[in-house]
Amino acid sequence: MGFFNKSDRRRQLLPADLGGMLTEYGHYDFDASIAPMPSNDTITLLSRLQIDTEVRERSADAVAEIKGAAIGEGGWATYGAIALIDAFFPEQVGSATYEELYEKRLRYLHDLAVPRNSLNINDQTRWRQLFPGEL
User: At 36, phi and psi to the nearest 5?
Assistant: -65, 155
> Alpha carbon of 59 to those of 51, 52, 62, 98, 119: distances in Å?
13, 11, 5, 12, 27
Q: What is residue 135's predicted lDDT score, i.e. its pLDDT?
A: 57
Q: What is residue 3's predicted lDDT score, i.e. its pLDDT?
A: 42
Q: Cβ(54)–Cβ(1) under 8 Å?
A: no
**The whole model's pTM is what?**
0.86
Farthest-apart Cα atoms in the chain, separation: 57
Predicted confidence pLDDT, tens digits, the chain (135 residues): 444 444 445 678 899 899 999 999 999 999 988 888 999 998 888 888 888 888 888 999 999 999 999 999 999 999 999 999 999 999 999 999 999 999 999 999 999 999 888 999 999 999 999 999 875
Q: What is residue 8's predicted lDDT score, i.e. its pLDDT?
A: 40
Q: Cβ(21)–Cβ(15) under 8 Å?
A: yes
